[in-house]
């Protein structure tokens, strides 16, 4: 196929004109284009008073060679993006492989293994998505938490209750397979070409259910409410796992896709000699603005145009104390949601549905923390750092799962807020006005204050006095890395364990975690052949 780039439409043009423009460029009639698909769509808003959509398209025509002479600008041969299955290894598996955790990394690892005939057994500590939704809704209305099935744990992982962003800074052809499998299981086809694709939490719930059914149809087995409590390791080699129910399962290969909040599992791994290292991550708050303010700042006079939807942003800053500050998991037209997985702790996150039609925009406003900030040199010390913040946030909120919150204007003046004003917090269990300086170490507070002023210069209204900051956002990424060999993808200390995804410290987001799950499954497949 041919790939044609830089096809431009104005904001008021119909997308159907893309094919006409391509035919005109190639000096063909539209019906002479045998196949046509949009590969990428992006928005160009660099010129004041003008917004254009820029398209890259792939087309199939007769006699492609005559269009590849170099005379036509922005026309080239389209690269082959077809995913290539790994070659199956020769060593026979003794037991079917395990996949521990059923978030994006575990889901895609299990999917590929099932597609290749390995009939994996998936163990997920949380519930299937249908029951998980009910457990989360119960917590959000009553404060009754299920520690094993919540925003962090359960089918689909933490990404199922997020904005469902499908962007990634990882340049890997596996990303195309990730998106295509989502489409195969019910996601809109537009995610294949949108510059900033997302599916929203409402659609993700059905998609992950469909992917589960696909894996089962291919011979895989998925067991929910099945937490791995112990790893049996002999002479540095995995021999099996034990569930919290006491059941023992023999296995020699397990893809470990447990997510960044599986703190008890991290401790179990450490106790079994699995090597891990503390790593930097980031903590902060969720910041909320009216979506109309963000739309106006980003799109100016085009704000509210039906083709643009709710505007996004991504901001970074280096504070004077050397800390990086950045916005994270920005949720246009979304909600700030209770996201703890431990009783007596308070954690916030952001979530949007496909329509992104809520009144507020929210984003994490995060400050880097480093292992030297943690209370000890222990590999799991980052967990202790998180827990201390989450317990303090719980107490500042009144120990009822209300969240501590402060107006941006008050935060900048270092005075406690006494009431919310024009921006109504979306956090469903309610907020308690306070001074967030009482929550964080000074180096975090100083960096956040500086960033608010600087971000306002880039995005007018970011530091509006009535904007709401809600604490604490502490689960942005894993506080540790489970060390692995980058050829075998197995733990450097424990043969047979394949650390994968966000929890293992090798990904950050739905797509990158899914890609990492594929990499680990590929490594297993290249070495072993399926059980008969």
Residue 169 has pLDDT above 70, yes or no: no
pLDDT tens-digit map of 218-255: 999 999 999 999 999 999 999 999 999 999 999 999 99
Q: What does the pLDDT average to over 420-426? A: 98
Q: Give the C-alpha distances (Å, rounded to integers) separating 57 from 12, 23, 38, 39, 167.
A: 20, 11, 4, 5, 19
Q: Is the peptide bond before 298 cis (omega within 30 degrees of 0)?
A: no
Q: What does the pLDDT average to over 98-106? A: 97
Cβ contact 422:466 at 8 Å: yes
Burial of 243 (0-12, 13-18, 19+ CB in 10 A): middle
Residue 438 phi, psi (nearest 5): -75, -15
Q: Find all residues with CB under 8 Å of 501, minimum gap 6, and list them.
A: 101, 103, 104, 105, 106, 257, 258, 259, 507, 513, 516, 517
The gap from C-alpha 299 to its chain's centroid, in whole angstroms, comes to 26
What is the model's pTM?
A: 0.95
Transcribe 1-15 into DSSP letters.
-EEEEEEEEETTS-T
Question: How many angstroms separate the CA atoms of 284 and 290, rounded?
Answer: 20
Cβ contact 161:335 at 8 Å: no
Residue 170 has pLDDT above 80, yes or no: no
Q: What is the mean pLDDT of the chain?
A: 96
Which of 152, 2, 128 is CA-nearest to residue 67? 2
The gap from C-alpha 502 to its chain's centroid, in whole angstroms, comes to 9
Helix (H, G, I), strand (E, B) or coil at 411: helix
Cβ contact 294:459 at 8 Å: yes
Cβ contact 371:385 at 8 Å: no
Q: Which is it for the CA torsion 43, 195, 293, 452, positive or negative?
A: negative
Length of the chain (residues): 532
Our CA angle for 209, 241, 508, nearest 5°, is 50
pLDDT of residue 132: 97
Share of the chain above pLDDT 70, in %: 100
Pick the CATH number of 91-276+484-529 from 3.40.190.10, 3.50.50.60, 1.10.10.10, 3.40.640.10: 3.50.50.60
Residue 337 has pLDDT above 80, yes or no: yes
pLDDT tens-digit map of 447-503: 999 999 999 999 999 999 999 999 999 999 999 999 999 999 999 999 999 999 999
The residue ranges of every structural domain in the chain are: 2-77, 91-276+484-529, 280-473
Q: Are strands 528-529 and 91-92 parallel, antiparallel or unpaired?
A: parallel
Cβ contact 331:473 at 8 Å: no
pLDDT band at 199 (very low <50, low <70, confident <90, very high): very high
Angle between helices 200-217 and 104-115 (to 10 degrees): 30
pLDDT tens-digit map of 42-83: 999 888 889 999 999 999 999 999 999 988 999 999 998 899
pLDDT band at 195 (very low <50, low <70, confident <90, very high): confident
Q: Domain 2-77's class?
A: alpha beta
Q: Which residues pair with 277 in a beta bridge?
A: 481
pLDDT band at 171 (very low <50, low <70, confident <90, very high): confident
The gap from C-alpha 195 to its chain's centroid, in whole angstroms, comes to 16
pLDDT of residue 532: 81
Q: Which two tokens stand for residue 159?
A: 């990404």
Q: What does the pLDDT average to over 260-288? A: 96
């Amino acid at each position: 196929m041919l790939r044609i780039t830089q096809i431009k439409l104005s904001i008021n043009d119909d997308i159907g004109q893309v094919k006409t423009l391509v035919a005109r460029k190639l000096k063909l009639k539209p019906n002479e284009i045998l196949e046509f698909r949009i590969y990428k769509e992006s928005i160009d808003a660099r010129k004041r008073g003008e917004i254009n959509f820029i398209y890259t398209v792939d087309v199939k025509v007769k006699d492609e060679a005559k269009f590849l002479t170099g005379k036509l600008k922005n026309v080239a041969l389209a690269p082959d993006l077809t995913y290539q299955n790994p070659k199956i290894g020769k060593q026979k598996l003794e037991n079917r492989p395990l996949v521990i955790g059923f978030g994006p990394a575990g889901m895609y690892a299990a999917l590929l293994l099932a597609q290749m005939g390995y009939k994996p057994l998936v163990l997920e500590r949380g519930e299937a998505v249908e029951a998980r939704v009910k457990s989360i809704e119960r917590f959000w209305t009553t404060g009754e938490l299920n520690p094993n099935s919540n925003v962090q744990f359960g089918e689909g992982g933490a990404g199922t209750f997020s904005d469902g962003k499908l962007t990634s800074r990882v340049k890997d052809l596996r990303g195309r397979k990730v998106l295509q499998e989502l489409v195969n299981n019910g996601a809109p086809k537009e995610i294949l070409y949108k510059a900033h694709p997302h599916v929203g939490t409402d659609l993700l719930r059905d998609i992950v259910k469909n992917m589960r059914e696909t894996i089962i149809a291919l011979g895989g087995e998925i067991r929910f409410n099945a937490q791995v409590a112990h790893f049996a390791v002999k002479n540095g080699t995995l021999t099996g796992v034990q569930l919290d129910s006491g059941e023992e399962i023999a296995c020699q290969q397990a893809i470990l896709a447990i997510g960044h909040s599986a703190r008890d599992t991290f401790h179990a791994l450490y106790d079994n000699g699995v090597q891990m290292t503390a790593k930097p991550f980031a903590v902060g708050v969720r910041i909320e603005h009216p979506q109309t303010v963000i739309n106006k700042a980003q799109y100016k006079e085009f704000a509210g145009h039906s083709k643009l939807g709710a505007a996004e942003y991504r901001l970074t800053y280096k504070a004077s104390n050397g800390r990086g500050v950045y916005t994270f998991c920005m949720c246009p037209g979304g909600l700030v949601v209770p996201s703890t997985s431990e009783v007596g702790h308070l954690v916030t996150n952001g979530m949007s549905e496909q329509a992104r039609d809520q009144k507020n925009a929210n984003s994490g406003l995060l400050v880097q923390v480093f292992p030297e900030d943690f209370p000890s040199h222990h590999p799991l010390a980052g967990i202790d750092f998180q827990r201390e913040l989450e317990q303090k946030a719980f107490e500042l909120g009144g120990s009822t799962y209300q969240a501590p919150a402060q107006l941006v204007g008050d935060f900048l003046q270092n005075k406690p807020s006494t009431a919310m004003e024009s921006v109504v917090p979306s956090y469903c269990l309610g907020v308690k006005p306070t001074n967030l300086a009482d929550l964080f170490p000074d180096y975090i507070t100083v960096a956040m204050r500086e960033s608010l002023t600087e971000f306002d210069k880039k995005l007018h209204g970011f530091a509006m006095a009535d904007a709401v900051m809600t604490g604490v956002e502490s689960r942005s990424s894993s506080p540790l890395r489970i060390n692995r060999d980058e050829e075998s993808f197995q733990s450097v200390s424990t043969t047979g364990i394949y650390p994968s995804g966000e929890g293992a410290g090798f990904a950050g987001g739905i797509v990158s975690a899914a890609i990492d799950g594929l990499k680990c499954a590929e490594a297993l497949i290249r070495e072993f052949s399926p059980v008969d």
